[in-house]
Amino acid sequence: MKLKQEVELYLTENNYPELAARVLQNPGMVKYLFRLLYHPYGAARWQAIQGLGQISEEMVKNDPETVRELLRRLLWSMNDESGSASWSAPEAIGEIIARNPELLKEYVSIVVHASEEEIFHRGIAWALGRVGGQRPDLVQSFIPLLREFLVHRRPEVRGYAAQALGRIGKTAVEALPDLKGLDPDMTEIEVYEKDQVVMKSVWQLVQDAVARIVGEI
């Protein structure tokens, strides 16, 4: 079986531990995960994001510097000079930081400021929520940015910002007036839950965020 097919099989089976073990044996396989990050939508990109997170957890046990190199490659892929922009690189960076927060906490601000390109705003919002769900203290200073994102012109950014604030939880209480003051937005966006893509309205994510911040769920 070709390496590309092997990676795809592990992803479709959600077999991330075995994928991580194989990538440690053959680091060249990681390029096939990177390629999936250039997809703007769909389950494959989320599977690649999750796979990279699992790989980072295994890498850090033996050589933390290899994880930092992984992040540097992802940051480079967000740069126009890399040839073309990797849509889902911020999400992958957020996933990796969330799994290794103490080691990689300085990368939170780096990914937020890595690019002003609008295509990355949704990923930055998602990354802040992913990290904030584990370590709210690491994203506290970016709550004002998430509040700005709640009225972004793109529904994905609005939805992921609301989701992020909910994941941060009670320490995002300052955002409650913004969330409660939003008009019902029934635009549906892609959300990845329990290993599958589902469609949820921005309004659903807003209501969920409010409930989480006030401690109802």
pLDDT tens sequence across 137-167: 999 999 999 999 999 999 999 999 999 999 9
State yes or no: pLDDT of 82 exceeds 90.
no
Q: Which of 52-66, 68-82, 98-112, 182-196 has the lowest mean pLDDT?
A: 68-82
pLDDT tens digit sequence for 162-192: 999 999 999 999 999 999 999 999 999 999 9
pLDDT tens digit sequence for 8-51: 999 999 999 999 999 999 999 999 999 999 999 999 999 999 99
| CA distances to 88, 150, 201, 207, 211 from 216, in Å | 31, 21, 20, 11, 5
What values do phi and psi take at 208, rounded to 5?
-65, -40
Q: What is the pLDDT of residue 83?
A: 56
Rounded to an integer, the average pLDDT of 110-133 is: 94
H-only helix segments in 37-154? 43-62, 64-77, 89-99, 101-104, 107-112, 121-134, 143-149
> Could you write out the three-class secondary structure of 148-215?
HHCCCCCHHHHHHHHHHHHHHHHHHHHHHHHHHCCCCCCCEEEEEECCEEEEEEHHHHHHHHHHHHCC
Q: What is the pLDDT of residue 1?
A: 72
State yes or no: pLDDT of 216 exceeds 70.
yes
Tokens of 16: 């991330």
Rounded to an integer, the average pLDDT of 75-96 is: 85
Q: What is the pLDDT of residue 60?
A: 94
Q: What is the pLDDT of residue 81?
A: 60
Q: What is the pLDDT of residue 97?
A: 98
State yes or no: pLDDT of 217 exceeds 90.
no
pLDDT tens digit sequence for 122-135: 999 999 999 999 99
| CA 85 – CA 38 distance, rounded (Å) | 7
Query: What is the reported pTM?
Result: 0.95
